[in-house]
Amino acid sequence: MSEVQKERTKRADAVRNKDAIIDAALTCLSDDPGASMSEIARVAGVGRVTLYGHFADREELVGAVFARTMDRAAAELAAVDIKQDTWKCLRDLVQSSWRVLYQFNSLLAAAEPYLSAEQIRAHHDKPLARVIAVLEKGRSEGTFRTDQSLTWQGACFYSILHSAAAEIRAGRLTEDDAARVLPATIRALLIPPADPAP
């Protein structure tokens, strides 16, 4: 006897609604990690009961949103060709990922009560790995400074991306300006110091 369940093809509106809910949850939770299920359903344009029809409880929904976001981030980062010039590589990394990576903080706050530290760490490490890989490449070439830990440089990388997103949201920076200033700032963080510190 086969264990394979016959896969009922889900109805079109059902999958559409489920997607809408995840999208809405991403929006709401990025804005406020404590956003209520009602709020998310409202933004998704869907009844509250429908939401619970697709996700058993808050934990399941938050988990789905968190996982999808991390997967997307990992995919975008993985698409960067690591063989090209290191600076170009870094620029691509910034360009392709700052929009999605900046949500990490609020989303993490929403997921924290449900996921174990190791689970969070596992999800987090996947996108971080690509960044670290580029950092290591730059180090081995002598392009990047080596007097600070990889961990610290990685943290600063994320931090600056997040800062840009926050400034944009607050209306103090435009997306075009961000595209210009971000690579320059990251570059400043990583380039070897020219003169000895005073």
Considering only 23, 33, 37, 95, the residue that binds DNA (CB under 7 A) is 37
CA 41/CA 24 separation, integer angstroms: 8
CA 187/CA 91 separation, integer angstroms: 9
167 touches, from DNA, a second copy, none (C-beta below 5 to 8 Å by class): a second copy
Nearer to a second copy among residue 9 and residue 149 (C-beta): 149
Task: Name the burial class of residue 85, with classes exposed (0-12), middle (13-18) and buried (19+) by CB atoms within 10 angstroms of its CB.
Answer: exposed
CB of 184 to a second copy, least distance (A): 6
CA angle 105, 70, 97 (to 5 degrees): 75
Q: Are 34 and 110 in contact (CB under 8 A)?
A: yes
Give residues in contact with a second copy (CB under 8 A): 34, 85, 87-88, 145, 147-149, 151-152, 155-156, 158-160, 162-163, 166-167, 172-173, 177, 181, 183-185, 187-189, 191, 193-194, 197-198
Cα dist from 10 to 46, 54, 159, whole Å? 17, 12, 41
27 scored as a contact of DNA (CB under 7 A): no
11 scored as a contact of DNA (CB under 7 A): yes
Considering only 27, 33, 43, 48, the residue that binds DNA (CB under 7 A) is 48
Nearer to a second copy among residue 55 and residue 157 (C-beta): 157
Nearer to a second copy among residue 140 and residue 174 (C-beta): 174
45 scored as a contact of DNA (CB under 7 A): yes
Kindly determine how many residues on this chain lie close enough to bind DNA according to the rule CB under 7 A: 25
Nearest Cα to Cα of residue 79 among 139, 133, 130: 130
12 touches, from DNA, a second copy, none (C-beta below 5 to 8 Å by class): DNA
Q: Are 85 and 134 in contact (CB under 8 A)?
A: no
Nearest Cα to Cα of residue 115 among 33, 18, 43, 28: 33
Would you tell me which residues interact with DNA (CB under 7 A)? 8-14, 17-18, 36-38, 45-50, 52-54, 56-59
